[in-house]
Structure 1
Amino acid sequence: MKGSFPGQILSAVGVDLNNGIYPVSFAVAETEYLNSWTWFLENLGDYLDLGPNSCFTFMSDRQKLCSLVCGLLPAIENLFPCAEHRFCVRHIHENMKGSFRGKLYKDMLYKCAHATTIPEFETAMDELKAFNQDAHLWLSNIHPKHWSKSHFSGRAVSDMLINNMIVNVLEVIDKSEGLLTPTTTIELQKIRTNAAHYTVQWNGADLYQISGRPVSWVVFKLFYICNPGIPCEHVVATIWYKAVNGGKSTFDYCSQHMPNAVN
């Protein structure tokens, strides 16, 4: 805010049931430093009934480094030590463009961000390093737990990478059919299509072996959800295998507490 009464507008938005965003609160403060963010987050926590042990996720827009390191990050760590903190990948790219411009840099950044396993992430980072060592060094200074799916804990049951989605919440929810929201239904259908290419074998107890393209085999324990809260293609194939013997449906393995699941 400029003019006779300068200041900063602090705001918080939440993820709705269809992976869109909606406003939660906003306030006007003098600066974006520690005292202002602490005051804002204390009020936000009281309003949402969030205690210091609450497990949820903040996603910031990677504002100026000084305000981030001296303000928002320590405020979150002090008030909500169990919370996760993510950086919007779109904003990381905006900062990256200051030194490394071009579509190839963007594609490599998003490939690293979308990697779902650590080996896949490391391979993508190696590709960036081979392309430009300086760009690799720049990106390596941002810990991947803040921006890559491969390093998310899974507690948030959401794999959001950007925070600028806009939707009309009420209209979309009113048009929702079935047990899941439209976004999740579409995503689950893609997963089902891929799951049809796998063969499942029981390995004893609660272990199952999956074979087929693009993997030769994988053995895992069947849990109710994967990250981001819906079963992956390997789990879906196993659910179908178990359904022959009276197992549960695919919908039963979706988290009831995920941001894009209908409770």
Structure 2
Amino acid sequence: MMWKAATATHPQAWETEMRNIKEVNLEAFKYLIKIPPRYWSRSRFTTNAKCDTLVNNMSEAFNSVMLHTRSKPIITMLEDIRLYLMNRWATNRTKIASLSGVICPKIKSRLNKESRLTKFWIPR
């Protein structure tokens, strides 16, 4: 039950889970309520990034593509990186040229999925 409260993404869901904990175990509820939820519940976490994980993920992805290139002499390595980037840009340019509409396909499909799910929303 504590994990449900910790992973709740909205304050209302967190409050519901805390009420459930209170019904089952008052001592556990008292213990958890003493700790500010901003320290342990996703519903109260800030949306600001605290680390450079995205940058690190991009570096890791790039390094995995360049694995065979890293052992080459510097000029050859730089030429391989240049060729990789030029090919990637050309591929992306071809893909985007065939795009119809103003929204990318993956984003459009996600938007459609999310809009279908809104029929279950209850305004409060």
Q: TM-score, normalised by structure 2?
A: 0.47
Q: Could you state the TM-score of these two structures normalised by the residue count of structure 1?
A: 0.24
* Structure showing greater Rg: 2
